[in-house]
């Protein structure tokens, strides 16, 4: 981990840089895959599954019998844990439902807005070294609560052509029965354009590697919506002298183990806390099954000593982390100053893992500075808003003259006439 002691503010931007990757080659490869799937459909999907996942499939869709058979192998303990998370995530996202409110802006002019679930959505769930069945809860629950009519799920198969049982169990629990054994950029292409087997959707959600991320970025150019720009996972911890160094180290490693391109940062006004946290980091790293991955991520990670907690917050707001932990007994008093972050964890016992799994908040969050302008996934992510207005004759009389003047000033005579003809009809009655 790279260590910085009291860097001056004009050097912060350099310290905040995320890991960089070759973009042009990635861009060309993903564009080719998208084009191939768009043209050759299922044939291309079978080809890329054999090439990238090392398995030759007979069918892309997971059958209802497979779902029923495979999910029986999930332990009762894990099922119970998933159901705890299901309950909490459902409660939190259901609370985001809004009721229709009719507003009379002028006497006789009523306006309101209605939430409508996006008709067709696709969920991408990584299934490689870390099958993220928790993401099905984070995406499937709000999709169902929002009233989306069709929800499909794509996830890559293992080398035997099977899907992880926990993924199938969670999908079944949420109520998703259209599951396809396809991963990578080709899965995004299939959902974006549709194939003989996989239906086209209107919006695509879910985390993934750099190929998936690039594919989601590119399909937007063809009019398919995505949840948000995203990239490698990241975590920033602000720790003061009341922080527990072992807790801090565990949180840093919890994100570093996601992938070698992840980035974690610790900020503190206490040199002792940084030193103790880094010592704990080394001790805990040695015990991790994914220690090689975490160690690689730590090469791109930073420990920064600053002069005050206020400086730490300024740094964090400029960095705009996906996850932010304020490891302090006084964490709540700093919460109002946080303006750029995907999700915030307050206090020494609010580990980031809670948000990843079972506290109730959503773990699909903006990365790579996008927390400055994007929110994480919520119920509204699966909805569109339709506005309505109803004008009575009195209402049109009240605002009609203003509309006529504005339309005339913009040179739009037909706009003006649509009002004038009605006002004239009223006077002739």
Q: What residue has token string 């080659």?
A: 25
Q: Evaluate whether 55 touches 161 at the Cβ level (below 8 Å).
A: yes
Task: Write down the catalytic residue from 258, 322, 352, 370.
Answer: 322
The Cα 20–Cα 12 span in angstroms is: 17
Q: Which two tokens stand for residue 425?
A: 């009809």
Q: How many residues does the chain have?
A: 429
Catalytic-labelled residue, pool 323, 352, 363, 370: 323
Instruction: Quickly count: other Cβ atoms within 10 Å of residue 370's Cβ.
Output: 18
Helices 291-299 and 271-285 pack at an angle, to 10 degrees, of 150
Written as six digits, the tokens of 256 are 């570093």
Could you list the beta-strand ranges (E) of 219-352.
225-226, 234-239, 263-268, 302-305, 323-327, 343-346
Give the integer Cα–Cα distance in Å for 112 and 102.
Answer: 5
Alpha helices in 161-308 (DSSP H): 165-174, 184-193, 210-219, 245-256, 271-285, 291-299
- Has 322 been annotated as catalytic? yes
Query: Which two three-digit tokens encode residue 181?
Result: 């054994």
Q: Which residues are catalytic?
A: 322-323
């Amino acid at each position: 981990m790279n260590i910085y002691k009291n860097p001056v503010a004009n050097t912060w931007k350099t310290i905040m840089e995320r890991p960089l990757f070759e973009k042009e080659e990635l861009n060309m490869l993903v564009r080719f895959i998208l084009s191939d799937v768009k043209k050759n459909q299922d044939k291309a999907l079978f080809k890329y599954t054999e090439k990238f996942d090392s398995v030759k499939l007979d069918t892309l869709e997971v059958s209802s019998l497979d779902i029923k058979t495979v999910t029986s192998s999930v332990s009762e303990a894990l099922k119970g844990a998933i159901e705890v998370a299901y309950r909490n995530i459902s409660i939190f996202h259901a609370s985001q439902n809004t009721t229709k409110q009719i507003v009379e802006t002028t006497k006789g002019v009523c306006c309101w807005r209605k939430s409508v679930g996006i008709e067709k959505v696709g969920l991408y769930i990584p299934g490689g070294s870390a099958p993220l069945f928790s993401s099905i809860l984070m995406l499937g629950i709000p999709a169902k609560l929002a009233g989306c009519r069709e929800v499909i799920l794509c996830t890559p198969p293992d080398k035997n052509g099977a899907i992880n049982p926990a993924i199938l169990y969670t999908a079944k629990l949420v109520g998703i029965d259209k599951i396809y054994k396809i991963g990578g950029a080709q899965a995004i292409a299939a959902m974006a354009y549709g194939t003989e087997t996989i239906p086209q959707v209107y919006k695509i959600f879910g985390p993934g590697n750099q190929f998936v991320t690039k594919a989601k970025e590119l399909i937007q150019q063809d009019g398919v919506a995505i949840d948000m720009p995203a990239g490698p996972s990241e975590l920033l911890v602000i720790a003061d002298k009341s922080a527990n160094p072992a807790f801090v180290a565990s949180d840093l490693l919890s994100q570093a183990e996601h992938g070698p391109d992840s980035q974690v940062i610790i900020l503190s006004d206490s040199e002792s806390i940084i030193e103790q946290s880094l010592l704990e980091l080394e001790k805990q790293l040695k015990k991790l099954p994914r220690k090689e991955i975490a160690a690689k991520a730590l090469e791109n990670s930073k420990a920064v000593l600053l002069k005050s907690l206020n400086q730490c917050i300024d740094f964090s707001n400029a960095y705009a982390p996906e996850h932010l932990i304020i490891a302090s007994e006084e964490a709540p008093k700093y919460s109002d100053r946080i303006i750029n972050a995907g999700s915030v964890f307050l206090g020494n016992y609010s580990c980031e893992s809670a948000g990843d799994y079972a506290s109730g908040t959503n773990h699909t969050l903006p990365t790579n500075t996008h927390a400055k302008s994007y929110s994480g996934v919520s119920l509204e992510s699966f909805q569109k808003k339709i506005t309505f207005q109803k004008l009575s004759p009195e209402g049109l009389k009240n605002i009609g003259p203003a509309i006529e003047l504005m339309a005339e000033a913009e040179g739009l005579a037909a706009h003006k006439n649509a009002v004038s003809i009605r006002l004239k009809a009223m006077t002739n009655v």
